[in-house]
Chains A and B, each alone.
Chain A
Amino acid sequence: MAEGKITPTMEQGMEQRKNGNETYAVVCGVAGWLVPGLGHALLRMWGRAAACFLCVGALVVLSAGLRGNVFTSAANDAFDRLGYIADLGTGGFYLVARTLETDGPDVSKAGGDYGTRFLATAGVLNLLAALHAYEIARGRKA
């Protein structure tokens, strides 16, 4: 066998590793969405995982404290639906936000508006982090 030549067995191994990487990348992405920072934690990027968890968590807690609007699936218009999608981006923290906000939203004051935006930002930020973890697991980013 000539050195440096790719045999069918090697090709099969490479294909299996590629498929394994792809599956693991999807697992990292979904885990990162469900629990902020978990995608990076699975990749042993502890700093990024902690930063993601703390930033998304802080935004969710602040949002609940400010009595922002936590959108539900019972949306009235397109903006509510978009808000719901953004809020769902927080993954498991969406349930935390709903649990924490016992008094319901109060958007009659600026604080409530800030709370609504904070939660939407947390969702989009978490989706970005989950996508980032997925890309790293695929070997596209450092």
Chain B
Amino acid sequence: MKLTHLQGMLLFAVIVSVAFGFMSRRRPLDQVKYIVWSLFLFLLVGIAVGWAMYPLSR
């Protein structure tokens, strides 16, 4: 199996967000909101850190 960095990050973010959402909220609507919000933050921070490291890779 081969994954790009973006695919790896996406899979990680989706799976962990779903687990966090189900564990930290009880009502289904709250769970969905939490999953979407934490997924957004995971991706935002991941992409921001990726760009922050970009100058070091050259």
Contact = CB atoms under 8 A, between A and B. Distances in A.
20 contacts: A47-B22, A51-B21, A51-B23, A52-B23, A55-B18, A58-B15, A62-B1, A62-B11, A66-B1, A110-B5, A111-B1, A111-B3, A111-B8, A114-B3, A114-B8, A118-B12, A121-B16, A125-B16, A125-B19, A129-B23
Instruction: Name, among B11, B19, B26, the residue most crowded by chain A CB atoms within 10 Å (CB to CB).
Output: B19
B58 interface: no
A59 interface: yes
B12 A51 contact: no
Nearest to A125: B19
Interface residues of B, number: 15
Contacts, number: 43
**Which 8 A-B residue pairings sit nearest by Cβ, starting from the closest?**
A51-B22, A65-B1, A55-B19, A114-B8, A48-B22, A55-B15, A132-B23, A125-B19
A128 interface: yes
A55 B38 CA distance: 15
A66 B16 CA distance: 18
B12 A121 contact: yes
Nearest to A114: B8
A111 B26 CA distance: 35
B1 A59 contact: no
Nearest to A59: B15
